[in-house]
């Protein structure tokens, strides 16, 4: 993005103007389903609604375009829970940070066409949650939607594939979330989603880990996979569309790792 940053520095007339000027570049990198005119209007609208974001974009328009390029490549809507735009300070200078949200990751999973549904949920202290790898195909999670659910204690994610099989089930506790949060860039910013929308970031962490195990794609696909009575083999780690563009991740954790066929019913995951 250095060439874009340098060019912007010489012809910047404000963030909205910069977005308009660089629509051809956005079109070159955008996923095929992205309508660049609509994408640009969404981005400009977000800037107009958030004075601090607009000020960060004015201070460093290159960072704005870097974030928008990433959103366009992934085919995600900027300034939404698919792809956050947040003002941060780096070395004392305001700039724009792009962050893939959990809804964006779910969208990338659906785009690949291999999953018929994706479940990403948080678990709170007063919920009933039961999942034993190798014994349960999917978590059993009972919630009193109208009562006091208590504090966040965990999160989980899985996909149901087109053939009916369940993907790898990712289950994370508070320690895993704290580890991911500590490695998140800009977490100390008042505008960090870890502060403004903590539950969504718990969901994002689980969805991001699920993205390692199921196909993801920036391009929308309409894959049709015939359902059979034979269960599909467990999925191994996938080459995710996020790998290059969402480095905000600390890799697998022990609780996610299990043999290809799951743990035998008589065994438990290692401590």
Largest CA distance in the chain: 67
> For residue range 169-179, what is the model confidence (pLDDT) as tens digits?
999 999 999 99
pLDDT band at 197, cuts 50/70/90? confident
SS3 142: strand
Average of per-residue pLDDT across 29-51:
94
% of the chain surpassing 70 pLDDT: 76
CB 26 within 8 A of CB 67: no
Nearest to 60 by CA among 100, 4, 22: 4
The verdict on residue 46 lying in a domain is: yes
pLDDT band at 112, cuts 50/70/90? very high
Residue 224 has a pLDDT of 43
Token readout for 142 is 């009972």
With 70 as the cut, is the pLDDT of residue 113 above it?
yes
- In the chain, the number of structural domains is 2
Is there a single domain that holds both residue 214 and residue 84?
Answer: no
Residue 91 has a pLDDT of 81
Nearest to 155 by CA among 112, 107, 113, 203: 203
User: Under 8 Å CB-to-CB from 68, ≥6 apart: which residues?
Assistant: 19, 26, 39, 43, 78, 98
With 50 as the cut, is the pLDDT of residue 121 above it?
yes
> For residue range 46-63, what is the model confidence (pLDDT) as tens digits?
999 999 999 999 999 999
The verdict on residue 183 lying in a domain is: yes
Is there a single domain that holds both residue 112 and residue 244?
Answer: yes
Which one of 84, 100, 116 terminates a domain?
A: 100
Q: For the chain, how are helix, strand and coil distributed in percent, rounded to 5? A: 35, 20, 45
What range does the domain containing 59 cover? 2-100
The verdict on residue 265 lying in a domain is: no
Is there a single domain that holds both residue 10 and residue 55?
Answer: yes
Residue 238 has a pLDDT of 46
Residue 243 has a pLDDT of 56
Token readout for 266 is 């008589």
Is there a single domain that holds both residue 65 and residue 167?
Answer: no
Q: Across 73-201, where does the E strand assignment appear?
A: 83-90, 93-100, 115-124, 128-130, 140-142, 152-161, 170-173
> For residue range 232-253, what is the model confidence (pLDDT) as tens digits?
444 444 444 565 456 554 433 3
């Amino acid at each position: 993005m250095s060439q874009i940053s340098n060019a912007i520095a010489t012809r910047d007339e404000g963030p909205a103007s910069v977005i308009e000027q660089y629509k051809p570049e956005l079109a070159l990198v955008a996923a095929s389903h992205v309508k660049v005119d609509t994408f640009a209007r969404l981005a400009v609208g977000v800037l107009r609604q958030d004075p601090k974001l607009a000020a960060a974009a004015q201070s460093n328009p290159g960072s704005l375009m870097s974030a928008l390029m990433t959103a366009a490549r992934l085919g995600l809507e900027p300034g939404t829970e698919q792809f956050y735009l947040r003002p941060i300070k780096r070395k004392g200078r305001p700039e724009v940070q792009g962050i893939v949200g959990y809804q964006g990751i779910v969208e990338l999973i659906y785009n690949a066409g291999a999953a018929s549904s994706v479940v990403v949920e948080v678990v709170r202290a007063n919920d009933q949650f039961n999942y034993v790898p190798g014994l349960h195909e999917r978590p059993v999670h009972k919630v009193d939607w109208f009562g006091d659910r208590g504090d966040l204690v965990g999160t989980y994610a899985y996909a149901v594939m087109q053939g009916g099989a369940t993907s790898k089930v990712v289950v994370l506790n508070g320690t895993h979330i704290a580890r991911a949060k500590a490695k998140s860039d800009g977490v100390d910013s008042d505008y960090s989603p870890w502060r403004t929308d903590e539950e969504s970031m718990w969901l994002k962490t689980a969805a991001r880990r699920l993205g390692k195990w199921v196909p993801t794609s920036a391009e929308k696909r309409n894959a049709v996979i015939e359902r059979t009575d034979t269960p599909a083999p467990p999925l191994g780690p996938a080459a995710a569309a996020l790998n290059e563009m969402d480095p905000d991740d600390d890799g697998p954790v022990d609780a996610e790792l299990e043999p290809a066929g799951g743990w035998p019913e008589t065994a438990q995951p290692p401590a």
